[in-house]
Amino acid sequence: MKPAENSGKAGPSLHKCPTGIVGLDQITNGGLPRGRPTLVCGGAGCGKTLFAVEFIVRGATQFNEPGVFMSFEETSEELAANVRSLGFDLDDLVRRKKLAMDFVRVERSEIEETGEYDLDGLFVRLNHAIDSVKAKRVVLDTIETLFAGLSNTAILRAELRRLFLWLKDKGVTVLITGEKGDGTLTRQGIEEYVSDCVIMLDHRVHDQLSTRRLRVVKYRGSTHGTNEYPFIIDEQGMSVLPVTSMGLDHPATTTRISSGVKRLDTMMGGKGFFRGSSILVSGTAGTGKTSLAAAFTKAACERGEKCLFFGFEESPAQIVRNMLSIGIDLAPCVKKGLLRFHTSRPTLYGLETHLTVMHKQIEEFKPSVVIVDPVTNMISAGVAQDVRSMLLRLMDYLKGRQITTMMTSLSSVGDAIEENVGGVSSLIDTWVFVQDIEIGGERNRGLYILKSRGMAHSNQIREFVLSNQGIELLDVYLGPSGVVLAGSARLAQAAREQAEDAASKQEIQRLRTQAQAQRKALEAQIAALQAQALAQNQAIEHLAAQDQLRAVQGQADRMAMARSREADVAAPAVAGPRRGRHL
Protein backbone atom coordinates (compact mmCIF):
# COMPACT_ATOMS: atom_id res chain seq x y z
CA MET A 1 0.00 0.00 0.00
CA LYS A 2 2.95 2.27 0.52
CA PRO A 3 5.25 3.33 -2.24
CA ALA A 4 8.21 2.50 -0.10
CA GLU A 5 6.99 -1.02 0.23
CA ASN A 6 6.44 -1.42 -3.47
CA SER A 7 9.82 -0.12 -4.39
CA GLY A 8 11.30 -2.35 -1.76
CA LYS A 9 9.68 -5.39 -3.23
CA ALA A 10 10.89 -4.57 -6.68
CA GLY A 11 14.53 -4.72 -5.76
CA PRO A 12 16.72 -6.19 -3.09
CA SER A 13 17.01 -2.88 -1.31
CA LEU A 14 15.73 -2.40 2.16
CA HIS A 15 12.07 -1.59 2.69
CA LYS A 16 11.67 1.79 4.26
CA CYS A 17 9.02 3.12 6.51
CA PRO A 18 8.67 6.88 6.16
CA THR A 19 8.51 8.68 9.47
CA GLY A 20 6.85 11.80 8.14
CA ILE A 21 9.19 13.85 10.30
CA VAL A 22 10.37 16.80 8.24
CA GLY A 23 13.90 16.23 7.06
CA LEU A 24 14.47 12.86 8.68
CA ASP A 25 13.29 10.85 5.72
CA GLN A 26 15.77 12.72 3.57
CA ILE A 27 18.65 11.89 5.87
CA THR A 28 17.69 8.24 6.03
CA ASN A 29 16.83 8.03 2.35
CA GLY A 30 13.22 7.16 2.94
CA GLY A 31 12.66 6.44 6.57
CA LEU A 32 13.27 3.75 9.15
CA PRO A 33 13.83 0.12 8.23
CA ARG A 34 10.40 -1.39 7.70
CA GLY A 35 9.55 -4.37 9.84
CA ARG A 36 12.59 -3.93 12.02
CA PRO A 37 13.32 -2.25 15.31
CA THR A 38 14.98 1.15 15.47
CA LEU A 39 16.51 2.55 18.59
CA VAL A 40 16.19 6.24 19.39
CA CYS A 41 18.45 7.14 22.23
CA GLY A 42 19.57 10.27 24.01
CA GLY A 43 19.70 12.03 27.31
CA ALA A 44 16.82 13.32 29.35
CA GLY A 45 14.69 15.90 27.61
CA CYS A 46 16.22 15.42 24.19
CA GLY A 47 12.92 14.69 22.51
CA LYS A 48 12.86 10.90 22.34
CA THR A 49 9.24 10.55 23.33
CA LEU A 50 8.17 13.29 20.98
CA PHE A 51 10.07 11.62 18.16
CA ALA A 52 8.22 8.41 18.93
CA VAL A 53 4.84 10.10 19.15
CA GLU A 54 5.37 11.88 15.88
CA PHE A 55 6.42 8.64 14.22
CA ILE A 56 3.17 7.04 15.33
CA VAL A 57 0.91 10.01 14.64
CA ARG A 58 2.33 10.70 11.19
CA GLY A 59 2.12 7.01 10.41
CA ALA A 60 -1.53 6.93 11.35
CA THR A 61 -2.50 10.20 9.69
CA GLN A 62 -0.23 10.42 6.66
CA PHE A 63 0.65 6.88 5.71
CA ASN A 64 -2.44 5.03 6.87
CA GLU A 65 -0.36 2.88 9.16
CA PRO A 66 -2.03 2.47 12.53
CA GLY A 67 0.26 2.27 15.48
CA VAL A 68 0.65 1.09 19.02
CA PHE A 69 2.19 3.32 21.61
CA MET A 70 3.35 1.42 24.62
CA SER A 71 4.55 3.78 27.24
CA PHE A 72 6.50 2.74 30.30
CA GLU A 73 6.90 6.18 31.79
CA GLU A 74 3.84 8.30 31.18
CA THR A 75 0.21 7.36 31.36
CA SER A 76 -1.80 7.61 28.18
CA GLU A 77 -3.60 10.66 29.54
CA GLU A 78 -0.40 12.45 30.42
CA LEU A 79 1.07 11.66 27.06
CA ALA A 80 -2.00 12.87 25.21
CA ALA A 81 -1.97 16.10 27.18
CA ASN A 82 1.74 16.61 26.59
CA VAL A 83 1.57 16.32 22.84
CA ARG A 84 -1.68 18.19 22.40
CA SER A 85 0.28 21.43 22.26
CA LEU A 86 1.98 20.07 19.17
CA GLY A 87 -1.31 19.54 17.44
CA PHE A 88 -1.39 15.79 17.93
CA ASP A 89 -4.78 14.57 19.03
CA LEU A 90 -4.08 11.12 20.37
CA ASP A 91 -7.56 10.64 21.82
CA ASP A 92 -9.08 11.18 18.43
CA LEU A 93 -6.73 8.65 16.86
CA VAL A 94 -7.65 6.14 19.54
CA ARG A 95 -11.34 6.72 18.84
CA ARG A 96 -10.77 6.22 15.14
CA LYS A 97 -8.94 2.96 15.83
CA LYS A 98 -5.74 4.35 14.38
CA LEU A 99 -3.88 4.14 17.60
CA ALA A 100 -3.78 1.85 20.58
CA MET A 101 -2.14 3.12 23.69
CA ASP A 102 -0.99 1.10 26.62
CA PHE A 103 0.72 2.31 29.71
CA VAL A 104 2.87 -0.31 31.33
CA ARG A 105 3.73 0.39 34.90
CA VAL A 106 6.08 -1.80 36.80
CA GLU A 107 6.17 -0.73 40.41
CA ARG A 108 9.00 -2.41 42.17
CA SER A 109 7.56 -1.80 45.60
CA GLU A 110 4.51 -3.88 44.92
CA ILE A 111 6.25 -6.63 43.05
CA GLU A 112 7.94 -9.63 44.50
CA GLU A 113 9.83 -12.08 42.41
CA THR A 114 9.82 -15.69 43.33
CA GLY A 115 11.07 -18.21 40.91
CA GLU A 116 11.02 -18.28 37.16
CA TYR A 117 8.98 -15.98 35.03
CA ASP A 118 8.85 -14.52 31.56
CA LEU A 119 7.46 -11.40 29.95
CA ASP A 120 4.59 -13.11 28.25
CA GLY A 121 2.28 -10.59 29.86
CA LEU A 122 3.95 -7.86 27.86
CA PHE A 123 3.79 -9.97 24.73
CA VAL A 124 0.09 -10.57 25.26
CA ARG A 125 -0.62 -6.92 25.78
CA LEU A 126 1.41 -5.88 22.79
CA ASN A 127 -0.15 -8.52 20.64
CA HIS A 128 -3.60 -7.52 21.75
CA ALA A 129 -2.90 -3.85 21.04
CA ILE A 130 -1.41 -4.61 17.62
CA ASP A 131 -4.36 -6.77 16.67
CA SER A 132 -6.93 -4.29 17.91
CA VAL A 133 -5.88 -1.63 15.41
CA LYS A 134 -4.01 -3.80 12.90
CA ALA A 135 -0.92 -1.82 13.73
CA LYS A 136 2.02 -1.49 11.43
CA ARG A 137 4.08 0.60 13.79
CA VAL A 138 4.95 0.05 17.41
CA VAL A 139 6.66 2.32 19.88
CA LEU A 140 8.14 1.12 23.15
CA ASP A 141 8.89 4.17 25.29
CA THR A 142 11.14 3.49 27.27
CA ILE A 143 11.35 -0.23 27.67
CA GLU A 144 14.45 0.00 29.80
CA THR A 145 12.23 1.08 32.64
CA LEU A 146 11.57 -2.62 33.07
CA PHE A 147 15.08 -2.98 34.42
CA ALA A 148 14.15 -0.69 37.25
CA GLY A 149 11.03 -2.67 38.07
CA LEU A 150 12.32 -6.17 37.72
CA SER A 151 15.51 -7.33 39.28
CA ASN A 152 16.32 -10.45 37.33
CA THR A 153 18.31 -8.94 34.50
CA ALA A 154 19.22 -12.31 33.06
CA ILE A 155 15.57 -13.06 32.46
CA LEU A 156 14.92 -9.53 31.22
CA ARG A 157 17.69 -9.63 28.67
CA ALA A 158 16.63 -12.97 27.35
CA GLU A 159 13.05 -11.81 27.17
CA LEU A 160 13.89 -8.57 25.41
CA ARG A 161 15.84 -10.47 22.82
CA ARG A 162 12.83 -12.72 22.35
CA LEU A 163 10.54 -9.69 22.19
CA PHE A 164 12.44 -8.07 19.36
CA LEU A 165 12.59 -11.28 17.40
CA TRP A 166 8.88 -11.71 17.91
CA LEU A 167 8.18 -8.16 16.78
CA LYS A 168 10.28 -8.75 13.68
CA ASP A 169 8.20 -11.83 12.98
CA LYS A 170 5.08 -9.78 13.32
CA GLY A 171 6.44 -7.50 10.63
CA VAL A 172 5.82 -4.30 12.49
CA THR A 173 8.20 -1.37 12.40
CA VAL A 174 9.30 -0.80 15.94
CA LEU A 175 10.74 2.25 17.52
CA ILE A 176 12.36 1.83 20.89
CA THR A 177 13.53 4.71 22.95
CA GLY A 178 16.39 4.48 25.37
CA GLU A 179 17.98 6.76 27.87
CA LYS A 180 21.61 7.49 27.20
CA GLY A 181 23.93 5.66 29.50
CA ASP A 182 27.37 6.42 30.80
CA GLY A 183 29.59 5.84 27.80
CA THR A 184 26.99 3.64 26.15
CA LEU A 185 24.10 4.46 23.90
CA THR A 186 21.59 3.21 26.43
CA ARG A 187 21.74 2.45 30.11
CA GLN A 188 21.06 -1.24 29.74
CA GLY A 189 22.72 -1.79 26.42
CA ILE A 190 19.49 -2.22 24.49
CA GLU A 191 21.44 -1.41 21.34
CA GLU A 192 22.74 -4.94 21.59
CA TYR A 193 19.34 -6.24 20.54
CA VAL A 194 18.35 -3.45 18.21
CA SER A 195 21.05 -3.47 15.68
CA ASP A 196 19.30 -2.36 12.53
CA CYS A 197 19.07 1.33 13.01
CA VAL A 198 20.19 3.59 15.81
CA ILE A 199 19.38 7.28 15.94
CA MET A 200 20.88 9.47 18.59
CA LEU A 201 19.33 12.66 19.81
CA ASP A 202 21.34 15.23 21.62
CA HIS A 203 20.68 18.45 23.41
CA ARG A 204 23.81 20.48 23.80
CA VAL A 205 24.39 23.81 25.36
CA HIS A 206 27.14 26.00 24.07
CA ASP A 207 27.64 29.51 25.34
CA GLN A 208 24.31 29.21 27.11
CA LEU A 209 22.51 28.50 23.86
CA SER A 210 21.07 25.09 23.44
CA THR A 211 20.82 23.21 20.21
CA ARG A 212 19.12 19.93 19.53
CA ARG A 213 20.91 17.58 17.20
CA LEU A 214 20.17 14.28 15.62
CA ARG A 215 22.56 11.72 14.24
CA VAL A 216 21.97 8.44 12.52
CA VAL A 217 24.57 6.35 14.30
CA LYS A 218 23.94 3.26 12.32
CA TYR A 219 21.61 2.05 9.65
CA ARG A 220 22.22 -1.48 8.55
CA GLY A 221 21.78 -2.05 4.85
CA SER A 222 21.21 1.54 3.88
CA THR A 223 23.13 4.66 3.16
CA HIS A 224 22.38 7.59 5.37
CA GLY A 225 23.63 11.03 6.20
CA THR A 226 26.26 10.69 8.88
CA ASN A 227 26.42 14.24 10.12
CA GLU A 228 24.83 15.67 13.15
CA TYR A 229 21.74 17.43 11.99
CA PRO A 230 20.15 20.16 14.03
CA PHE A 231 16.48 19.82 14.70
CA ILE A 232 13.82 21.85 16.36
CA ILE A 233 10.65 21.04 18.19
CA ASP A 234 7.96 23.59 17.66
CA GLU A 235 4.21 23.77 17.49
CA GLN A 236 4.20 21.56 14.41
CA GLY A 237 6.34 18.88 15.90
CA MET A 238 9.87 17.96 15.05
CA SER A 239 11.79 19.09 12.05
CA VAL A 240 15.28 18.14 11.12
CA LEU A 241 17.48 20.32 8.98
CA PRO A 242 18.61 17.91 6.32
CA VAL A 243 20.90 20.29 4.52
CA THR A 244 24.23 18.82 3.73
CA SER A 245 27.28 20.14 2.09
CA MET A 246 27.69 16.97 0.10
CA GLY A 247 26.48 18.05 -3.30
CA LEU A 248 27.91 20.81 -5.41
CA ASP A 249 25.72 20.20 -8.41
CA HIS A 250 23.08 22.84 -8.16
CA PRO A 251 21.83 24.24 -11.45
CA ALA A 252 22.91 27.64 -12.69
CA THR A 253 20.67 29.93 -14.64
CA THR A 254 21.50 32.84 -16.83
CA THR A 255 18.36 34.66 -15.76
CA ARG A 256 19.12 37.99 -14.21
CA ILE A 257 17.00 39.84 -11.71
CA SER A 258 17.09 43.46 -10.79
CA SER A 259 18.65 44.59 -7.56
CA GLY A 260 15.98 47.24 -7.20
CA VAL A 261 18.53 49.99 -7.66
CA LYS A 262 18.85 50.95 -11.30
CA ARG A 263 22.37 52.18 -11.20
CA LEU A 264 23.45 49.09 -9.32
CA ASP A 265 22.07 46.98 -12.14
CA THR A 266 23.99 49.17 -14.51
CA MET A 267 27.14 48.41 -12.61
CA MET A 268 26.51 44.75 -13.31
CA GLY A 269 26.12 44.98 -17.03
CA GLY A 270 22.70 46.59 -16.73
CA LYS A 271 20.90 43.42 -15.72
CA GLY A 272 21.39 42.85 -12.03
CA PHE A 273 22.07 39.65 -10.13
CA PHE A 274 21.86 36.09 -11.35
CA ARG A 275 18.79 34.29 -10.13
CA GLY A 276 19.70 31.75 -7.52
CA SER A 277 22.96 33.39 -6.64
CA SER A 278 24.06 34.38 -3.20
CA ILE A 279 24.68 38.04 -2.63
CA LEU A 280 26.48 39.54 0.27
CA VAL A 281 26.16 43.18 1.17
CA SER A 282 28.72 44.05 3.73
CA GLY A 283 29.72 47.24 5.38
CA THR A 284 30.07 49.01 8.67
CA ALA A 285 27.18 50.24 10.74
CA GLY A 286 24.83 52.69 9.14
CA THR A 287 26.03 52.27 5.62
CA GLY A 288 22.64 51.34 4.23
CA LYS A 289 22.84 47.58 4.00
CA THR A 290 19.29 47.02 5.11
CA SER A 291 18.12 49.70 2.69
CA LEU A 292 19.75 47.85 -0.19
CA ALA A 293 18.12 44.66 0.99
CA ALA A 294 14.77 46.42 1.19
CA ALA A 295 15.14 47.75 -2.33
CA PHE A 296 15.89 44.25 -3.53
CA THR A 297 12.91 42.94 -1.60
CA LYS A 298 10.62 45.53 -3.07
CA ALA A 299 11.86 44.77 -6.58
CA ALA A 300 11.20 41.06 -6.06
CA CYS A 301 7.68 41.72 -4.80
CA GLU A 302 7.00 44.02 -7.72
CA ARG A 303 7.93 41.20 -10.04
CA GLY A 304 5.31 39.16 -8.20
CA GLU A 305 7.86 36.91 -6.51
CA LYS A 306 7.67 35.79 -2.93
CA CYS A 307 10.24 37.10 -0.58
CA LEU A 308 11.13 35.92 2.89
CA PHE A 309 12.88 38.44 5.08
CA PHE A 310 14.79 37.13 8.09
CA GLY A 311 15.51 39.99 10.41
CA PHE A 312 17.71 39.67 13.45
CA GLU A 313 17.84 43.29 14.48
CA GLU A 314 14.55 45.00 13.85
CA SER A 315 10.94 44.04 14.17
CA PRO A 316 8.86 43.83 10.99
CA ALA A 317 6.99 47.02 11.85
CA GLN A 318 10.23 48.83 12.41
CA ILE A 319 11.70 47.67 9.13
CA VAL A 320 8.58 48.74 7.23
CA ARG A 321 8.54 52.13 8.92
CA ASN A 322 12.21 52.79 8.42
CA MET A 323 12.16 51.78 4.79
CA LEU A 324 9.21 54.03 4.15
CA SER A 325 11.45 56.93 5.09
CA ILE A 326 13.59 56.24 2.06
CA GLY A 327 10.61 55.83 -0.20
CA ILE A 328 10.43 52.03 -0.11
CA ASP A 329 6.96 50.99 0.93
CA LEU A 330 6.95 47.36 1.93
CA ALA A 331 3.53 47.33 3.56
CA PRO A 332 1.58 46.52 0.36
CA CYS A 333 3.92 43.60 -0.32
CA VAL A 334 3.16 42.19 3.10
CA LYS A 335 -0.54 42.72 2.54
CA LYS A 336 -0.44 40.91 -0.76
CA GLY A 337 1.25 38.00 0.91
CA LEU A 338 4.36 38.31 -1.19
CA LEU A 339 6.55 39.37 1.65
CA ARG A 340 6.90 37.56 4.92
CA PHE A 341 9.04 38.67 7.79
CA HIS A 342 10.54 36.32 10.28
CA THR A 343 12.27 38.20 13.00
CA SER A 344 13.92 36.89 16.09
CA ARG A 345 16.76 37.75 18.38
CA PRO A 346 19.91 35.86 17.55
CA THR A 347 20.34 34.88 21.16
CA LEU A 348 16.95 33.19 21.17
CA TYR A 349 18.59 29.92 20.35
CA GLY A 350 21.69 28.43 18.85
CA LEU A 351 22.86 28.87 15.33
CA GLU A 352 21.70 25.48 14.16
CA THR A 353 18.29 26.06 15.57
CA HIS A 354 18.12 29.37 13.75
CA LEU A 355 19.03 27.66 10.55
CA THR A 356 16.52 24.92 11.14
CA VAL A 357 13.83 27.49 11.72
CA MET A 358 14.86 29.32 8.58
CA HIS A 359 14.84 26.09 6.65
CA LYS A 360 11.38 25.30 7.87
CA GLN A 361 10.10 28.74 7.02
CA ILE A 362 11.57 28.48 3.53
CA GLU A 363 10.00 25.07 3.00
CA GLU A 364 6.65 26.46 4.06
CA PHE A 365 6.65 29.79 2.27
CA LYS A 366 8.59 28.73 -0.81
CA PRO A 367 10.05 32.14 -1.57
CA SER A 368 12.19 32.93 -4.57
CA VAL A 369 14.14 35.56 -2.71
CA VAL A 370 15.49 35.27 0.81
CA ILE A 371 16.97 38.11 2.80
CA VAL A 372 19.07 37.54 5.89
CA ASP A 373 19.66 40.75 7.76
CA PRO A 374 22.27 40.52 9.05
CA VAL A 375 23.96 37.19 8.71
CA THR A 376 26.72 38.32 11.05
CA ASN A 377 24.34 38.14 13.97
CA MET A 378 24.26 34.41 13.48
CA ILE A 379 27.90 34.33 14.33
CA SER A 380 27.13 35.48 17.82
CA ALA A 381 24.94 32.42 18.10
CA GLY A 382 27.61 29.88 17.32
CA VAL A 383 31.24 28.99 17.20
CA ALA A 384 33.20 30.35 14.27
CA GLN A 385 33.89 27.08 12.48
CA ASP A 386 30.34 25.91 13.05
CA VAL A 387 29.05 29.11 11.55
CA ARG A 388 30.98 28.56 8.40
CA SER A 389 29.85 25.01 7.90
CA MET A 390 26.28 25.83 8.74
CA LEU A 391 26.17 28.81 6.42
CA LEU A 392 27.68 26.65 3.74
CA ARG A 393 24.91 24.14 4.20
CA LEU A 394 22.27 26.83 4.14
CA MET A 395 23.65 28.34 0.99
CA ASP A 396 23.85 24.99 -0.71
CA TYR A 397 20.29 24.37 0.23
CA LEU A 398 19.14 27.74 -1.10
CA LYS A 399 21.09 27.40 -4.29
CA GLY A 400 19.74 23.95 -4.86
CA ARG A 401 16.29 25.50 -4.81
CA GLN A 402 17.24 28.40 -7.05
CA ILE A 403 16.48 30.87 -4.33
CA THR A 404 18.29 34.15 -4.62
CA THR A 405 19.71 35.08 -1.28
CA MET A 406 20.83 38.45 -0.13
CA MET A 407 22.67 38.55 3.13
CA THR A 408 23.89 41.61 4.83
CA SER A 409 26.95 41.51 6.95
CA LEU A 410 28.02 44.00 9.53
CA SER A 411 31.71 44.59 9.68
CA SER A 412 33.33 46.64 12.34
CA VAL A 413 35.71 49.39 11.47
CA GLY A 414 39.21 48.14 11.11
CA ASP A 415 38.25 44.54 10.45
CA ALA A 416 39.90 42.77 7.64
CA ILE A 417 37.18 42.44 5.03
CA GLU A 418 37.44 38.67 5.00
CA GLU A 419 37.07 38.17 8.69
CA ASN A 420 33.75 39.75 9.18
CA VAL A 421 31.56 37.27 7.39
CA GLY A 422 32.57 34.15 9.17
CA GLY A 423 34.85 33.29 6.30
CA VAL A 424 31.96 32.65 3.96
CA SER A 425 33.05 35.17 1.37
CA SER A 426 34.33 32.42 -0.88
CA LEU A 427 30.82 31.03 -1.05
CA ILE A 428 29.41 34.33 -2.21
CA ASP A 429 28.66 34.98 -5.85
CA THR A 430 28.18 38.69 -5.73
CA TRP A 431 29.67 40.80 -3.05
CA VAL A 432 28.60 44.39 -2.74
CA PHE A 433 30.56 46.50 -0.36
CA VAL A 434 29.18 49.63 1.21
CA GLN A 435 31.67 51.88 2.82
CA ASP A 436 31.91 55.09 4.72
CA ILE A 437 33.88 57.76 3.01
CA GLU A 438 35.10 60.36 5.43
CA ILE A 439 36.26 63.60 3.93
CA GLY A 440 35.72 67.24 4.62
CA GLY A 441 34.22 66.57 8.04
CA GLU A 442 31.47 64.39 6.62
CA ARG A 443 30.61 60.75 6.40
CA ASN A 444 29.19 59.66 3.15
CA ARG A 445 28.44 56.31 1.64
CA GLY A 446 30.34 54.70 -1.13
CA LEU A 447 29.38 51.50 -2.86
CA TYR A 448 31.34 49.14 -5.01
CA ILE A 449 31.15 45.61 -6.25
CA LEU A 450 33.90 43.59 -4.72
CA LYS A 451 33.21 40.63 -6.89
CA SER A 452 30.47 39.28 -9.05
CA ARG A 453 30.93 35.87 -10.50
CA GLY A 454 30.07 35.29 -14.12
CA MET A 455 29.39 38.83 -15.21
CA ALA A 456 31.21 41.96 -16.22
CA HIS A 457 30.90 44.55 -13.52
CA SER A 458 32.01 48.04 -12.83
CA ASN A 459 35.07 48.51 -10.72
CA GLN A 460 34.14 52.04 -9.81
CA ILE A 461 33.15 53.32 -6.44
CA ARG A 462 29.80 55.02 -6.62
CA GLU A 463 28.36 57.34 -4.11
CA PHE A 464 25.36 55.85 -2.53
CA VAL A 465 22.72 58.33 -1.45
CA LEU A 466 19.62 57.59 0.58
CA SER A 467 16.86 60.10 0.21
CA ASN A 468 13.13 60.04 0.59
CA GLN A 469 13.03 59.25 -3.11
CA GLY A 470 14.81 55.99 -2.57
CA ILE A 471 18.30 54.82 -3.21
CA GLU A 472 20.43 56.61 -5.71
CA LEU A 473 23.87 55.86 -6.95
CA LEU A 474 25.76 58.89 -8.10
CA ASP A 475 28.80 59.32 -10.23
CA VAL A 476 32.12 59.43 -8.62
CA TYR A 477 34.19 62.54 -8.43
CA LEU A 478 37.82 62.08 -8.05
CA GLY A 479 39.71 64.70 -6.16
CA PRO A 480 43.16 65.91 -7.13
CA SER A 481 44.89 63.16 -5.14
CA GLY A 482 42.72 60.44 -6.58
CA VAL A 483 40.35 60.14 -3.62
CA VAL A 484 36.69 59.74 -4.17
CA LEU A 485 34.80 62.89 -3.42
CA ALA A 486 31.43 62.50 -1.86
CA GLY A 487 28.78 64.59 -0.20
CA SER A 488 29.60 68.27 0.04
CA ALA A 489 33.00 67.68 -1.43
CA ARG A 490 31.29 66.21 -4.45
CA LEU A 491 28.91 69.15 -4.62
CA ALA A 492 31.82 71.59 -4.29
CA GLN A 493 33.70 69.78 -6.95
CA ALA A 494 30.63 69.80 -9.15
CA ALA A 495 30.21 73.53 -8.58
CA ARG A 496 33.84 74.11 -9.35
CA GLU A 497 33.57 72.18 -12.53
CA GLN A 498 30.46 74.05 -13.41
CA ALA A 499 32.21 77.35 -12.83
CA GLU A 500 35.14 76.27 -14.92
CA ASP A 501 32.77 75.26 -17.59
CA ALA A 502 31.05 78.61 -17.55
CA ALA A 503 34.37 80.43 -17.66
CA SER A 504 35.50 78.63 -20.70
CA LYS A 505 32.20 79.31 -22.38
CA GLN A 506 32.68 83.02 -21.76
CA GLU A 507 36.14 82.92 -23.20
CA ILE A 508 34.86 81.35 -26.37
CA GLN A 509 32.19 83.97 -26.59
CA ARG A 510 34.77 86.64 -26.18
CA LEU A 511 37.00 85.20 -28.84
CA ARG A 512 34.07 84.86 -31.14
CA THR A 513 33.13 88.51 -30.68
CA GLN A 514 36.70 89.51 -31.22
CA ALA A 515 36.89 87.57 -34.43
CA GLN A 516 33.69 89.11 -35.55
CA ALA A 517 35.02 92.58 -34.88
CA GLN A 518 38.17 91.82 -36.74
CA ARG A 519 36.21 90.55 -39.67
CA LYS A 520 34.15 93.66 -39.65
CA ALA A 521 37.28 95.84 -39.65
CA LEU A 522 38.70 93.92 -42.52
CA GLU A 523 35.48 94.19 -44.39
CA ALA A 524 35.56 97.97 -43.88
CA GLN A 525 39.09 98.07 -45.13
CA ILE A 526 38.11 96.08 -48.16
CA ALA A 527 35.26 98.48 -48.80
CA ALA A 528 37.60 101.46 -48.50
CA LEU A 529 40.08 99.98 -50.89
CA GLN A 530 37.34 99.11 -53.28
CA ALA A 531 36.09 102.72 -53.09
CA GLN A 532 39.62 103.91 -53.72
CA ALA A 533 39.92 101.72 -56.76
CA LEU A 534 36.61 102.93 -58.01
CA ALA A 535 37.68 106.50 -57.52
CA GLN A 536 40.88 105.88 -59.46
CA ASN A 537 38.95 104.31 -62.28
CA GLN A 538 36.63 107.22 -62.29
CA ALA A 539 39.53 109.62 -62.49
CA ILE A 540 40.98 107.72 -65.37
CA GLU A 541 37.68 107.73 -67.17
CA HIS A 542 37.41 111.38 -66.56
CA LEU A 543 40.80 112.05 -67.97
CA ALA A 544 40.02 109.93 -71.00
CA ALA A 545 36.78 111.80 -71.54
CA GLN A 546 38.56 115.12 -71.23
CA ASP A 547 41.10 113.91 -73.69
CA GLN A 548 38.44 113.00 -76.16
CA LEU A 549 36.67 116.20 -75.58
CA ARG A 550 39.89 118.05 -76.24
CA ALA A 551 40.40 116.16 -79.46
CA VAL A 552 36.98 116.96 -80.64
CA GLN A 553 37.39 120.54 -79.63
CA GLY A 554 40.67 120.73 -81.46
CA GLN A 555 39.15 119.52 -84.67
CA ALA A 556 36.31 121.93 -84.34
CA ASP A 557 38.78 124.68 -83.76
CA ARG A 558 40.74 123.67 -86.80
CA MET A 559 37.60 123.49 -88.84
CA ALA A 560 36.61 126.85 -87.57
CA MET A 561 40.08 128.14 -88.36
CA ALA A 562 39.96 126.59 -91.75
CA ARG A 563 36.66 128.06 -92.32
CA SER A 564 37.93 131.29 -91.27
CA ARG A 565 40.87 130.81 -93.62
CA GLU A 566 38.38 129.47 -96.12
CA ALA A 567 40.43 126.59 -96.64
CA ASP A 568 39.33 123.91 -98.87
CA VAL A 569 37.82 121.20 -97.00
CA ALA A 570 39.36 118.54 -99.02
CA ALA A 571 40.00 115.00 -98.43
CA PRO A 572 43.28 115.49 -96.78
CA ALA A 573 41.52 117.64 -94.43
CA VAL A 574 42.70 115.70 -91.50
CA ALA A 575 46.28 115.85 -92.46
CA GLY A 576 45.76 119.18 -93.82
CA PRO A 577 45.27 121.16 -90.72
CA ARG A 578 48.14 119.32 -89.01
CA ARG A 579 50.19 120.09 -91.93
CA GLY A 580 48.60 123.35 -92.18
CA ARG A 581 49.31 123.90 -88.49
CA HIS A 582 52.90 123.05 -89.16
CA LEU A 583 52.80 125.41 -91.83
Partner 1 sequence: MTRLPKKIKARARKPEPAEVPSDLWELRLYVAGKTPKSVRALENLKRLCAENLKGQYHIEVIDLLKHPHRAKVDQIVALPTLVRKLPEPMKKIIGDLSNLSNTQQVLLWGGMSSRTAKSSPEGPDGEGA
Catalytic residues: 73, 313
Nearest by Cα to 242 from 371, 349, 398, 393:
393
247 contributes a contact to partner 1 by CB under 8 A: no
For the CA atoms of 65, 66, 70, 75, the dihedral, rounded to the nearest 10 degrees, stands at 130
Among 14, 46, 146, 378, binds partner 1 (CB under 8 A): 146
> Which 3 state secondary structure label does DSSP give 227?
coil
Among 118, 475, 501, 507, binds partner 1 (CB under 8 A): 118
Q: In the complex, what is the shortest distance from the CB of residue 135 to partner 1, in angstroms, rounded to a whole number?
A: 14
106 contributes a contact to partner 1 by CB under 8 A: yes
Alpha-helical segments (H) within 232-372: 262-267, 289-302, 316-324, 331-335, 351-365
112 contributes a contact to partner 1 by CB under 8 A: yes
Among 10, 116, 413, 441, binds partner 1 (CB under 8 A): 116
Q: In the complex, what is the shortest distance from the CB of residue 133 to partner 1, in angstroms, rounded to a whole number?
A: 13
Q: Which is nearer to partner 1, 124 or 246 (CB)?
A: 124
Among 22, 79, 104, 138, binds partner 1 (CB under 8 A): 104
117 contributes a contact to partner 1 by CB under 8 A: yes
Regarding beta strands 307-311 and 339-343, do their DSSP bridges make them parallel or antiparallel, or are they unpaired? parallel
Separation in Å, CA 442 to CA 436, 467, 490, 494:
10, 17, 11, 17
**CA–CA dist 357, 278 (Å, integer):** 19
Q: Which is nearer to partner 1, 149 or 580 (CB)?
A: 149
Among 12, 44, 85, 110, binds partner 1 (CB under 8 A): 110
**CA–CA dist 51, 56 (Å, integer):** 9
Residues 382-401 that bind partner 1 (CB under 8 A): none
121 contributes a contact to partner 1 by CB under 8 A: yes
Nearest by Cα to 212 from 228, 195, 236:
228
Residues 149-188 that bind partner 1 (CB under 8 A): 149-152
Across the beta sheet with 209-219, the strand order is 99-103, 67-71, 137-141, 173-179, 37-42, 197-206, 209-219, 228-234, 237-240
Query: Residues 175, 179, 184, 185: is their CA dihedral positive or negative?
Result: positive
Asked if residues 472 and 465 have their Cβ atoms less than 8 Å apart, the reply is yes
Which x/- pattern, by CB under 8 A, does the window 45-84 give for partner 1?
Answer: ----------------------------------------
Q: In the complex, what is the shortest distance from the CB of residue 176 to partner 1, in angstroms, rounded to a whole number?
A: 16
Q: In the complex, what is the shortest distance from the CB of residue 94 to partner 1, in angstroms, rounded to a whole number?
A: 13
Q: How many residues belong to the site for partner 1 (CB under 8 A)?
A: 28
105 contributes a contact to partner 1 by CB under 8 A: yes
Q: Which residues bind partner 1 (CB under 8 A)?
A: 102, 104-107, 110-125, 127-128, 146, 149-152
